[in-house]
Amino acid sequence: MQYLPPAMERLTEQFKKLPGIGAKSAQRLAFHVLSLSREDAAAFAQSILDAKDKVHTCPVCQNLTEGDGPCALCSSYKRDRSIICVVAEPKDVIAMERGGEYDGLYHVLHGVISPMNRVGPDDLKIRPLLDRVAQGGIEEVIMATNPDTEGEATAMYLTRLLKPFEVKITRLAYGIPVGSHLEYADNATLMRALEGRQEIN
Amino acid sequence: MQYLPPAMERLTEQFKKLPGIGAKSAQRLAFHVLSLSREDAAAFAQSILDAKDKVHTCPVCQNLTEGDGPCALCSSYKRDRSIICVVAEPKDVIAMERGGEYDGLYHVLHGVISPMNRVGPDDLKIRPLLDRVAQGGIEEVIMATNPDTEGEATAMYLTRLLKPFEVKITRLAYGIPVGSHLEYADNATLMRALEGRQEIN
């Protein structure tokens, strides 16, 4: 990667740091930036700074938000304020909202308990969740962490902490993904789908 | 993509404009930027502006460079100043240099003639190439545009323009890529490899 001007080298290096971007892609992206107008490049640079400077977490649900006070979801009068769906990351809120079915509130943990990665309960936004439930008015807490070991362990841990508050605690159903085939389902999923079988009316 | 703060939406949109970055990747990259330190994000933003502001084309070979005067390659005393390798894009210089074999100079056209994309000869850096050859001292011009229709047409066009200067004009050899298999080579490549067959000494 010699014979590129230093500024291009630096930009290529910056792109290479991004997840999923290799050396070839990074170079292509750097050349693309060079082909932008000065205004478009400035807008790109500014959007990076803005994301860092303006975005913070909602004081209630810990999801990402801009501006003061609770986020749009937490302050919406259209949402059922008696249900909290607990997810690991802000992108999981987006996934749930994409479904369009859920109309309750959220709580974003910003991670899962993971001894391997040295993430303990104190590194997650668990305290604010307990505070919300302790304040009363919550009837159900849905655990919607990912169905892997760490997500499961986190859900179990939270369930134990939430038990004293006598709220209903539920878990997203396991099963065969819609549109997939039985023959391609792994055994664990198939067994869970069998356990969770439902009566057809 | 609702329920993301506007600054995150804007950053995601910016990433989505990059070549080869889809909606999912763009979102992942935006979340990655959010996880950077303020300093790292600022360095990323600055590198975008630097690439736009500092990088320009070498007055001699038209390759990308920083600073005043001819680029490092054009001013290197180690290079053979009697040969010019004509390529379409700056990245082709990098590809040639990676080989490590070529020690002459370059000329970057910044495109190829392409009536489909409305790129004519006047949109390319052809005039500076003719000026360089006209100045004398050049013995050979190697056409190293891509071996596709547009690259070929551009090479043929330049060959016609350079004929009056009585320099040797050559073309990179076509053939089977090293390490590949005959059975996977397309017919056109195979025919070119046959035409260009060389005696084994």
B-chain CB neighbours of A73 within 8 Å are: 3
**Cβ neighbours for A56, distance < 8 A, ≥ 6 positions apart:** A64, A65, A66
The tens-digit pLDDT sequence of chain A (201 residues) is 457 888 999 999 999 999 999 999 999 999 999 999 999 999 999 999 999 999 999 999 999 998 888 998 999 999 999 999 999 999 889 888 887 788 899 999 999 999 999 999 999 999 999 999 999 899 999 998 888 889 989 999 999 999 999 899 998 888 878 777 777 778 888 777 777 777 666
Q: Which residue of B has its CA nearest to A110?
A: B35
CB B60 within 8 A of CB B74: yes
Interface test with A, best of B3, B31, B34, B79 (most A CBs within 10 A): B3
CB A15 within 8 A of CB A9: no
What's the gap between Cα A144 and its chain centre? 10
A-chain CB neighbours of B31 within 8 Å are: 89-91
The span from the CA of A42 to the CA of A38, in Å, is 6
Across the interface, whether the CB atoms of A49 and B45 are under 8 A apart is answered yes
A-chain CB neighbours of B27 within 8 Å are: 91, 94
A134, amino acid identity: A
Q: Tell me the nearest-neighbour CA distance from A180 into chain B, angstroms.
A: 21
Q: Nearest-CA neighbor of A82 among A60, A104, A107?
A: A104
pTM score, two decimals? 0.76
Please give the torsion angle defined by the CA atoms of residues A179, A185, A189 and A193, in that order, rounded to the nearest 10 degrees: 50
pLDDT digits (tens, 9 = 90+) for B119-173: 999 999 999 999 999 998 999 999 988 888 899 899 999 999 999 998 999 988 8
Interface test with B, best of A12, A14, A27, A44 (most B CBs within 10 A): A44
